[in-house]
Chain A
Amino acid sequence: MSSPIKFLAQKHRKQTAIIAVIGSIYVLSSWILNFDSFSGFTAVPKAFTWLGVNFFPTSESVELLPRIWQKLIETVALAVSSTVVAAIIALFVAILGSKATGINNYVHVIVRGIASFFRNIPLVAWAMILLFSFKQSDFTGFLALLLMTVGYLIRAFMEIIEDEASETMMALKATGASYFQVIFQAVLPQIMPSLISWVLYMIENNVRDATLVGILTGTGIGFIFDLYFKSFRFDAVGMTILAIIIVVIVLEVLSNQIRKVIL
């Protein structure tokens, strides 16, 4: 048994060591990446004053508002539809693959592997691969978002089924209910609130990611942003960013309110 003083001294040494390690990682990285912390962080206030002056929407950019708005709505619709389709696919796969409702353990391992594979291929790679075959269209963006979302949702849904529905399932199985009765009367009603909550979270996420996909595949709000940005029309860029902020925050507030009611 160590005395309290010894314990505190040890704790102190350990903390100092951790701080030293993290600090040296930081210094080493900034040296390798050629990042000058001082000039980097002093650039931030400069950036914001510059933003305040140049990104301020002018009357010209206000006229662009309908077009920006239309593209933004398109992007949100794309994010919603890709998430919903992904959720439907993921729900089937998760029911087949989860430990509680699934076929067997081999299927479980295979499904987990596939989900992890889809999740870990970067969105950029999906966007570029699909762009090559499906050309510059909304459908490309839809597929890219879909494939990545499926990976996330399969894992999330499997964990939800295993965590939340196991007991209800057991109770219904004991009454002699068939497999499909168990699924439709116990599992689905039980997991619905968490499922919707995850879908809403993925929609929020996908609206943000859709901007990136849009820049790469030339669709939606990402395309408009890139267009104005590359032609140096910064007042229009400012307007676009403002519109994105409003939509994302409205979506966040809305889904938080929905979550409060359903959970």
Chain B
Amino acid sequence: MITRGDIQNVSGYKKPQPPEKKVKLRKFNWSRVMIYAVMVVLLSVTGYTLTHLDTANVKIGDAMHGLVMTLNQIFLQPRAGSDGIMPLLSALGISLLLAIMTTIIGAVIGFLFAVIASRNLTNAYFGAIIRVVMAVIRAIPTIVWVLIFSIVCGLGTNAAILGLSFHSIAYLTKAYSESIEEIDQTTIEALKVTGSKFWVIVFQAIWPTIIASLVSWTFIRLEINFANAIAVGAAAGAGGIGYQLFVASGMSFDFHEVGFIVYLIIGVTILLEFIAVKLRQMYITK
């Protein structure tokens, strides 16, 4: 008679045993450890800060009620207020021009610096110096730059233009030089072999290759500069719609007018975003 044991012996069949070690579902890697470490640090800083936050003894309920009333006035009942529509529109125009102009300055000078600072084009030491200087300029907030220049040039558009340009130059230098460094080295070498001069290489090989990312970075900066132009107008009194916003919300407390100004600003930023998207599509399809 054949028993069950025989079958097992003959065919070498064994009852399946549970695996001795648990199957590892996840491999150990540093990336995961780092992610957890960063999360723990960030969450504990947040926890500590929120429990020790100075709220100036404001009753949250009352403040929320007030906030809802204010928001209601701002977003549902916007009115041009005592200033009238035309002065506000011209102030908006000034802020927009400020943004456009500083972006142009930033783009032109930024491109020159980016070419010099890119690792694949020039002398490493010289490039490193420019990168460090740009990092320092970027580290200082735009508003601080404007206030610094306002001591020398006096408060007003001149200080605003210089301050905004400084930050734009540093930002665009970094953005552009990163795009330049992504270029395939063979493109540059092919032109070098033909004996082309430095600036010929820049304008015939580099410029056409990165034009799409150049345009998109420049437009991102234009949007940032518009926001900065408003901030600078409010905090440094440099004029434009930001100053009107500051006066309406901090001095005359006319929140209907604040609402009107906010809608104007949102309109312009959405328009800028729309143009940026269209331009990007144009250059990518080319």
Query: Which residues from chain A sit less than 8 Å from chain B, CB to CB?
Result: 22, 25-26, 29-30, 32-36, 40, 43-44, 46-47, 50-51, 77-78, 80-81, 84-85, 116-117, 120-125, 128-139, 142, 192-193, 196, 199-200, 208-209, 211-212, 215-216, 225, 229, 234, 241, 244-245, 248-249, 252, 258, 261-263
Given contacts A130-B67, A138-B54, contact A258 B161 (CB under 8 A): no
Judge whether A133 and B140 touch: CB under 8 Å: no
* CB-CB nearest in chain A for B235: A215
Instruction: Report the separation of the CA atoms of residues A80 and B138 in the bound assembly, to the nearest whole angstrom.
Output: 19
Q: A133-B66, A212-B231, A261-B34 are in contact. List 18 more A-B contacts (CB 8 A).
A: A22-B104, A32-B97, A47-B151, A51-B148, A120-B265, A122-B227, A122-B265, A124-B245, A131-B250, A134-B58, A134-B63, A135-B56, A136-B56, A139-B55, A262-B34, A262-B35, A262-B38, A263-B31
Whether A78 and B49, one on each chain, are in contact in the complex, defined by CB atoms closer than 8 angstroms, is yes
Q: Is the CB of A124 within 8 A of B136?
A: no
Q: Which chain B residue lies CB-closest to A121?
A: B262
**Cβ contact within 8 Å between B46 and A85:** yes
Q: With contacts A32-B97, A43-B152, A122-B262 known, is A212 near B74, CB below 8 A?
A: no
Q: Is the CB of A216 within 8 A of B234?
A: yes
Task: For residue B76, give the distance in angstroms from its CB to the closest CB of chain A.
Answer: 14
Instruction: Please list 6 pairs of residues, one from A and one from B, whose beta carbons are closer than 8 Å in the complex, sorted by A's number.
Output: A117-B266, A134-B63, A135-B63, A212-B141, A241-B148, A245-B139
Q: Do B71 and A129 have beta carbons less than 8 Å apart?
A: yes
A81 touches B234 (CB 8 A): no
Q: Of the candidates B30, B48, B66, B140, which one forms a contact with A261 in the assembled complex, judged by CB atoms under 8 Å apart?
A: B30
- Contact bitstring B249-270, A, C-beta under 8 A = 1, else 0: 1100101001001100110011
The distance in angstroms between the C-alpha atoms of A123 and B21, with both chains bound, is: 55
The chain B residues found within 8 Å of chain A, CB to CB, are 30-31, 34-35, 38-39, 42-43, 45-46, 48-50, 53-56, 58, 63-64, 66-67, 70-71, 74, 94, 97-98, 100-101, 104-105, 135-136, 138-144, 147-149, 151-153, 157-158, 161-162, 227, 230-231, 234-235, 242, 245-246, 249-250, 253, 255, 258, 261-262, 265-266, 269-270
B204 to chain A, nearest CB (A): 11
Q: Is the CB of A196 within 8 A of B38?
A: yes
Secondary structure at the B interface, as helix, strand, loop or mixed, is helix
CB neighbours of B30 from chain A (8 A): 261
Closest to A240 in B: B144
CA–CA, A234 to B150, complex, Å? 13
Residues of B within 8 A of A208 (CB): 141-142
- A98, chain B: closest CB distance, angstroms: 19
Interchain nearest-CB distance for B229 vs A (Å): 10
**Bound state CA distance, A33 and B238, in angstroms?**
11
What are the residues of chain B within 8 A of A47 when measuring CB–CB? 148-149, 151-153, 162
| Assembled-state Cα–Cα distance A258/B39 (Å) | 12
The minimal Cβ–Cβ distance linking A228 to chain B, given in whole angstroms, is 11
Collect the chain A residues with CB atoms within 8 Å of residue B66's CB. Answer: 132-133
Contact present for A249 and B139 (CB under 8 Å): yes
Task: Judge whether B97 and A139 touch: CB under 8 Å.
Answer: no
Contact B139 A211 (CB under 8 A): no
Task: Decide yes or no: A120 and B249 within 8 Å by CB, A133-B70, A193-B35, A212-B235 being known contacts.
Answer: no
A26–B246 touching, CB < 8 Å: no
- Which residues of chain B have C-beta atoms less than 8 A from A26's C-beta? 101, 104-105
Kindly provide the distance from the CB of B228 to the nearest chain A CB, expressed in whole angstroms: 9
Q: Could you say which of B43, B101, B153, B269 has the most chain A C-beta atoms within 10 Å of its C-beta? A: B101
- In the complex, which of the residues A116, A199, A241 contacts B144, with contact meaning CB atoms closer than 8 Å? A241
Q: Which residues on the A side are within 8 Å of B151 (C-beta)?
A: 47, 50, 234
Residues of B within 8 A of A130 (CB): 67
Interface pair B270/A29, CB less than 8 Å apart? no
Contact B53 A44 (CB under 8 A): no
Query: Which residues in A have their C-beta under 8 angstroms from that of B162?
Result: 40, 43-44, 47
Chain A residue contacts of B55, Cβ below 8 A: 134, 137-139
Chain B residues with Cβ under 8 A from A129's Cβ? Answer: 67, 70-71, 74, 249, 255, 258
Cα distance A46–B235 in the bound complex, in angstroms: 24
